[in-house]
Structure 1
């Protein structure tokens, strides 16, 4: 999965913000470079972030400008001026927890050393003016031009993750049942990517929820966001159990061909449920679960107390069936009609 916003709309919005900021500064006869720098870094993934960080970047830029004027007055345009202006700005912004504005403030401080030659006080207020223009223009552009909307990305991502998890589940069990000597190195890499995509989708959901303070239409879809979070929780659990299956020690299992067929048939049905949720059949799902459960209890009878087997020494057959039953139970709970209404009830 890729981040769609940065490669498309965010680039366009950044270009528009730069253009408008430069025009406004030229109209006031102000040097546009400081305003443009501010505009570039203020285009955030969400409008709420642009506003919140704007309140941090303005005082930070004021601090950088003040230090630049101070050290130019004391030392003129010299290497020590650049050094002191940058270091002092970083220290003060850090102490005041103005971390989001630290970069802009430092760039402003060192850039001002080169362009200020007289009228230091006037130059200071001009810097504040250009910073304000950059903040306001970029925030307005972010709000009005291609407003951040991660709904499509969230839905597409969750569907993609579910489909890939189903394919991984099928491949993993096929190797565990028929290719005991083949390792899962490739699948472990796939699982790492799956984990990254789940975390990225969580970020999209957070972005979308942050916009509820700005756009009423986002707030009205809170039930949808809760459902997406619930889907991700399920995928997190599925990811954990897939990881367990991938780390089962490689050894030959004792199942008969018939037993392997029963297990693989259940896995295939489970993978289909994950890939095509619209076709989910609860009766068929539970029938397959019953077959696997019966096989599990038959294998469990072989593990007697007097064998002294420690849980970490359970045979692979036991662990594989246990994980399969657990995943079946997760899917059954997830697709349960009553459970699907939980998100809607929580916002009523």
Structure 2
């Protein structure tokens, strides 16, 4: 194979690989998660399975490269047959164990009443019952033995129920998925977008007291568990906000830094001791309302612990205390 043919083969391979590696993106907002996927259409149709349940009426399908969309069908998620059988079996086991516990409660009431009845009897000697105390003891001992058997059975049933519930929760978590989108489209490529039913970033903060009447406040985004295999970005906005907000890429370095402000503080009092304490007032003059969240507190560069930053409207003031 000459160099020209080799270049042609390599170019074809790169173009094919690029086409196969369609963009897969997740954008995390303050009130939801947007998932987007480019899909290649072959023979006029394609299917795409979403990785998690989605919000109602959030699905969008956009044609690319000048194409068009014919028909879009959303097929509800169905468990694989093997997992469905295991879930059905575990659910049935759980129901049987719960029924057994109810039956044991009834047995306990019966034998507890029998033991009480036997112990309250007045022994009376007769020709047919020459030793009434022995008969009472025998009846009481029998009722108590039955109560012990009930308690043993209940303990074993509760242990088995916990095991079944734990396995049921594990299977349900492992097989969670979303609906499948079936699309008829003459377009060569399409872009599918939807908002997941659950999830959003939650705010947390760093507060660094500067010692000059100001604090450096950093807003961080903590992310929920996300589907794997997607490029992840975070936007400091809601789903209904402006799309002009900058989307910040997520790395493995920890929470995403969304914004930072230098805010005035007053009445700062810090006790540097083995159990330190710190109090101050902080005023939000950033022009941006701040949601409540946990904040790491630093004084003169030293980490002292975590505090709660309450929700702060524009120009509002809050008292921060540690501990």
Higher relative contact order (CA 8 A, sep 6+): 2
TM-score by length of 2: 0.27
Which structure features the higher share of helix residues? 1
